[in-house]
Structure 1
Amino acid sequence: MAKSKAEKAAERALDTARVAVGEAEKAVRKLDKKTKREAEDLADRLAAAAKDAKKAVRRAKATADDARASATSVAEHVAVPASHTGIPTFRELRDRAKARGIQGYSRMNKAQLLHALGEG
């Protein structure tokens, strides 16, 4: 039996569609490979960033520990303030003189304040 023109045209269109579908499938596979490579690259970059972040955290902790140790060492070697030695400070003496109503306390030095308060 002879095929009609319409059947031949339909077969040609079907062949063209098959070729187009094959090309589309190739393109999808190519894009999938490209996307897969990009995803792997991003995963590698993320892993490297996480590794760097962990290093930064360790360094920051070490720096903080060193700073604490240094601060403790400095605090141990700093002179004790006068108020902790039993000797009142100038400001404390002025406050006491003011509270007792001693006249001229604002012009007195520390020795004069001690004498006026009867402590020196």
Structure 2
Amino acid sequence: MSAKKVEKEAERALVAARAAVDEAERAVKKLDKRSRKAAEELTARLEQAAKDARKAVRRSEQTARAAKEQADAIAGPAVAASPSSGIPTFHSLRDRAKAQGIQGYSRMNKAQLLHALGEG
């Protein structure tokens, strides 16, 4: 093989290599665009999930506040003493014992309820 032929073959191989490199660079750019787009989509989904989580926390806090207010409202009147003597009624003592989760309150008399509630 002559030197000119070898040079021409090398030139063709070099052109083919340059074309292959250019094609690879284009593929990398496409891949980068896809990766960037996928990362942006994941970021958007993560931000939405964070918003949803914050909203759920706010809702649960509101529900807890409402439940506490309701429990306070229910427990409030049960604390009221009988109007004439200042001593709580049997029924109000039972209601308070039930609200506090005292076991066996339904079988207790007034003195036992007062003792169980820490008032006697």
Short-chain TM bin: 0.5 to 0.7
- Give 1:80's aligned residue: 93
TM-score, length-scaled by structure 2: 0.65
Structure 2: which amino acid aligns with 1:80? L
The alpha-carbon deviation at position 76 of structure 1 amounts to: 1.4
In the alignment, the residues of structure 2 paired with residue 88 and residue 54 of structure 1 have an alpha-carbon distance, to the nearest angstrom, of: 49
In the alignment, the residues of structure 1 paired with residue 55 and residue 12 of structure 2 have an alpha-carbon distance, to the nearest angstrom, of: 64
- Give 2:112's aligned residue: 89
Q: Secondary structure at the match of 2:31?
A: helix
In the alignment, the residues of structure 1 paired with residue 34 and residue 41 of structure 2 have an alpha-carbon distance, to the nearest angstrom, of: 10
TM-score, length-scaled by structure 1: 0.65
The reply on whether 1:52 has 2:75 as its aligned counterpart is no
Could you give the per-residue CA deviations for residues 56-86 of structure 1, whole angstroms, max 9, x where no partner exists? 00000000000111111111123125xxxxx
How large is the RMSD of aligned CA atoms in angstroms? 2.4
Unmatched 5+ stretches in structure 2: 79-91, 95-109, 116-120
- Which runs of 4 or more aligned residues in structure 1 lie more than 6 Å from their structure 2 counterparts after TM superposition? none
The alpha-carbon deviation at position 6 of structure 1 amounts to: 1.1
How many equivalent residue pairs? 86
Structure 1: which amino acid aligns with 2:74? V
Could you give the per-residue CA deviations for residues 28-60 of structure 1, whole angstroms, max 9, x where no partner exists? 000001111111111111111111111000000
- Give 1:15's aligned residue: 15
Structure 2: which amino acid aligns with 1:88? A
Identity of matched residues, %: 48
